[in-house]
A and B are shown apart, each in its own frame.
Chain A
Amino acid sequence: MSSPVARAAAGADAPQLTISNVSKHFGGVRAVTEVSVDVRRGELLSIIGPNGAGKTTVLNMVSGFFHPDSGTIHLGERDITQLAPSRIAELGVARTFQNIALFKGMTVLDNLMLGRHVRMRSGVFGSLIYWGLAQREEVKHRAQVEELIEFLKLQDLRKQPTGALAYGLQKRVELGRALALDPDILLLDEPMGGMNQEEKEDMARYVLDVNEERGTTVILIEHDMGVVMDISERVVVLDMGQKIAEGTPEEVKRNPDVIKAYLGQPHGTGANHA
């Protein structure tokens, strides 16, 4: 988290996250090949593509689960290519998962408090003794978590175990847990997958609010084209592990390669687009 001055010095256009020429192969499967993306501070960037295009793999490399076979990933000036996921989280990158990964036995409150783990300091002895420093810290962070609970309208559920919640609510709690980290960059892997229209609209609203009010950079993977085209500032299209297009939603929509990737080659007209 750099100061405004440092940010200005680096230039408003300096990318916050630079993914350059990353490749990842699993055995013979080329999941991602030579993909480069610059993410600007504060933007809402979507990554789309057909199934198996490598979207989640890119996210996994950014959050440190996989290390790329080649290429680098920089957070600001800092090379995070080989860092462990927990280190990357400490640097302010939070994410959610395609198939929800909540702590199911714990309450909504505890899940969100865990989101604040890296922002808290108390160690073993502090925790064992509790009264004093650790308690003060718990109360302080509880207050911040309560703000999030209010923002996500989870008030009546705070002491419910998350495993018992409805699917859409679990997705919202997972968003909350990621937000609890106070991230600079938020990676969302299909936050609206499997939701009905109303739930999607709610989620889109939350994502926009996070992006606009908190100024958090959002990288979104989503299959619902309507949502993607509505809320994204920029869209990156992956197909077969390669980047085939990048630009505003309007540009991407008209891009012939994108149409080809999604709809296949139109009969008889293929030669024109080759």
Chain B
Amino acid sequence: MFFRESGVFHTTYQRDMALYPMPITKFAVAAFAVLFVGVLPFSMHEYYVSIVNLVLIAVVGALGLNILVGYTGQISIGHGAFMSVGAYTAANLIVRLDMPFWVAVPAGGAMAALIGAVVGIPSLRIKGLYLAIATLAAQLIIEWTINHVPWISGGVQASIEVPRPRLFGYVLNSQRDLYFFLLAFATVAIVATLNLVRSRIGRAFIAIRDQDIAAEIIGINIFRYKLLAFAISSFYAGVTGVLYTYYLGIANYEQFQIVVSIDYLAMIIIGGLGSVLGSIFGAIFVTLLPIVIRLFMESFGSLLFDPKDVLNLIPMLRLILFGALIIVFLVLEPEGLDRLWRNIRNYFRVWPFSY
């Protein structure tokens, strides 16, 4: 948020360490709350609400991955698979045992956390690319397992149909209903992540990322904390998988293939590693970019190409533009959208004076 520190004095440590150290931020947050709860969902077409819903789901997943990659300095190409673990755990609970969402969502997360922690075990010995390959193996193994074990995948085409979530007997049928459902989860995920990274556990994660030897010498049990990072991160991924399953109305492993893992990595790299705001920016960017490109091509593509070809060109152009934009962004601002935002904010901090 835009703010100026000048003239704001903290008299207690508690105030100094608050989530919103500036009085004005409270108003900004309140304004956002009104916008997201009161204005946005009621002023948009149902189709656009469904796109915002996709962003909200992605925010949860990107935050989770950023805890592991951005804050703890580990890497995972298996997050797509962890999402599928959450999705199928929840789908089975919902369909077989008729569980409500407030059991299915945490259960999906918990199962993903368990699997994620197991996958994280090699992280004690291996780092960087080698760990990436180990998690890639996990991605493929989990994909294969779900696809080949009918007891998990429900048999036919490895998909399980899931009814819409219910709240006090009310079925969340429309995209607008789902929007509030997903907004609640995204908000909890954001606040929890902010809290995590500013307290004991989160600091330990960052310490492991910055200097693992020094982290150990001040009493941080590296192995335990790496596994914890994997577990927390996978929990977020599992929840993302459950939310996406509710959104689609079906659990299907094809929705959680390796491309998804890469997409989420792209989100946090573009948004900014080790930043909560960056995760949100990245989730918005990567989710909206293909949709915006498609809408753009549908509207203006015929000016550039033969109208017959446009429909065929869209999927290809989407990939090309997506890749190109990611490269452009990384070259212009390697630290991501979050850095871009901070630069703008810092410029206005003392504006109109130069210092």
A178 to B217, CA, bound (A): 9
B204 contacts A117, C-beta separation under 8 Å = yes
B14 contacts A135, C-beta separation under 8 Å = yes
Interface members, chain B 206-220 (any A CB < 8 Å) = 206-207, 210-211, 213-220
Q: A89-B219, A128-B192, A139-B14 are in contact. Are A105 and B206 (CB under 8 A)?
A: yes
Interface members, chain A 55-91 (any B CB < 8 Å) = 63, 65, 84-87, 89-90
Q: Mark A105-137, 1 if CB is under 8 A from B, else 0.
A: 110001001110110101110111111001101
Q: Mark A160-193, 1 if CB is under 8 A from B, else 0.
A: 0000000000000000011001000000000000
B219 contacts A86, C-beta separation under 8 Å = yes
**Most chain A CB inside 10 Å of its own CB: which residue of B16, B199, B202, B221:** B199
- A-chain residues with CB within 8 Å of residue B207 when the two chains form the complex: 103, 106, 114, 117
B210 contacts A105, C-beta separation under 8 Å = yes
A177 contacts B211, C-beta separation under 8 Å = no
User: Taking the complex as formed, is A102 at the interface, i.e. its CB lies under 8 A from any CB of chain B?
Assistant: yes
Q: A105-B206, A117-B203, A142-B17 are in contact. Are A127 and B196 (CB under 8 A)?
A: yes
In the complex, what's the smallest C-beta–C-beta distance from B254 to chain A, in angstroms? 32
Number of interface residues of B (CB under 8 A): 31
- B-chain residues with CB within 8 Å of residue A181 when the two chains form the complex: 218-219
A103 to B216, CA, bound (A): 12
Q: Name the residue on B nearest A136 (C-beta).
A: B14
User: Taking the complex as formed, is A206 at the interface, i.e. its CB lies under 8 A from any CB of chain B?
Assistant: no
- B-chain residues with CB within 8 Å of residue A118 when the two chains form the complex: 218-219
User: Taking the complex as formed, is A41 at the interface, i.e. its CB lies under 8 A from any CB of chain B?
Assistant: no
B218 contacts A177, C-beta separation under 8 Å = yes
- B-chain residues with CB within 8 Å of residue A134 when the two chains form the complex: 195, 199-200
Q: A117-B204, A124-B232 are in contact. Are A143 and B13 (CB under 8 A)?
A: yes
B195 contacts A85, C-beta separation under 8 Å = no
Interface members, chain A 199-253 (any B CB < 8 Å) = none
A207 to B132, CA, bound (A): 44
User: Taking the complex as formed, is A9 at the interface, i.e. its CB lies under 8 A from any CB of chain B?
Assistant: no
User: Taking the complex as formed, is A34 at the interface, i.e. its CB lies under 8 A from any CB of chain B?
Assistant: no
Q: A16-24, A45-53, A93-101, A260-268: which lies at the B interface?
A: A93-101
B219 contacts A90, C-beta separation under 8 Å = yes
- A-chain residues with CB within 8 Å of residue B310 when the two chains form the complex: none
B216 contacts A85, C-beta separation under 8 Å = yes
B214 contacts A102, C-beta separation under 8 Å = yes
A120 to B232, CA, bound (A): 20
User: Taking the complex as formed, is A257 at the interface, i.e. its CB lies under 8 A from any CB of chain B?
Assistant: no
Q: Mark B222-237, 1 if CB is under 8 A from A, else 0.
A: 1000001000100000
In the complex, what's the smallest C-beta–C-beta distance from B66 to chain A, in angstroms? 15
A117 contacts B219, C-beta separation under 8 Å = yes
Q: A102-B211, A143-B13 are in contact. Are A138 and B199 (CB under 8 A)?
A: yes
B203 contacts A130, C-beta separation under 8 Å = no
Q: A127-B195, A139-B14 are in contact. Are A110 and B200 (CB under 8 A)?
A: no
A115 contacts B218, C-beta separation under 8 Å = yes
- B-chain residues with CB within 8 Å of residue A43 when the two chains form the complex: none
B201 contacts A123, C-beta separation under 8 Å = yes
B203 contacts A110, C-beta separation under 8 Å = yes
User: Taking the complex as formed, is A30 at the interface, i.e. its CB lies under 8 A from any CB of chain B?
Assistant: no
User: Taking the complex as formed, is A153 at the interface, i.e. its CB lies under 8 A from any CB of chain B?
Assistant: no
In the complex, what's the smallest C-beta–C-beta distance from B263 to chain A, in angstroms? 25
Identify B202's interface contact among A63, A89, A127, CB under 8 A. Answer: A127
A258 to B216, CA, bound (A): 35
- B-chain residues with CB within 8 Å of residue A114 when the two chains form the complex: 203-204, 207, 215, 218, 220
B199 contacts A127, C-beta separation under 8 Å = yes
A87 to B224, CA, bound (A): 12
B220 contacts A86, C-beta separation under 8 Å = yes
Q: Name the residue on B nearest A177 (C-beta).
A: B218
In the complex, what's the smallest C-beta–C-beta distance from A164 to chain B, in angstroms? 14
Q: Name the residue on B nearest A122 (C-beta).
A: B200
Identify A130's interface contact among B16, B195, B214, B219, CB under 8 A. Answer: B195
- B-chain residues with CB within 8 Å of residue A110 when the two chains form the complex: 203, 206
- B-chain residues with CB within 8 Å of residue A95 when the two chains form the complex: 217
Q: A85-B217, A106-B206 are in contact. Are A117 and B200 (CB under 8 A)?
A: yes
A159 to B193, CA, bound (A): 21
Q: Name the residue on A nearest B199 (C-beta).
A: A127
B210 contacts A113, C-beta separation under 8 Å = no
Q: Name the residue on A nearest B224 (C-beta).
A: A86
B195 contacts A129, C-beta separation under 8 Å = yes
Identify A117's interface contact among B13, B192, B220, CB under 8 A. Answer: B220
B195 contacts A86, C-beta separation under 8 Å = no
Q: Name the residue on B nearest A143 (C-beta).
A: B13
Q: Name the residue on B nearest A181 (C-beta).
A: B218
7 A-B pairs closest in CB distance: A89-B219, A118-B219, A130-B195, A101-B214, A103-B210, A127-B201, A127-B199
User: 8 A–B contact pairs at CB < 8 A?
Assistant: A86-B220, A89-B216, A95-B217, A106-B206, A127-B202, A134-B195, A142-B13, A146-B13
Residues of A within 8 A of B (CB): 63, 65, 84-87, 89-90, 94-95, 97, 101-106, 110, 113-115, 117-118, 120, 122-124, 126-131, 134-135, 137-139, 142-143, 146, 177-178, 181
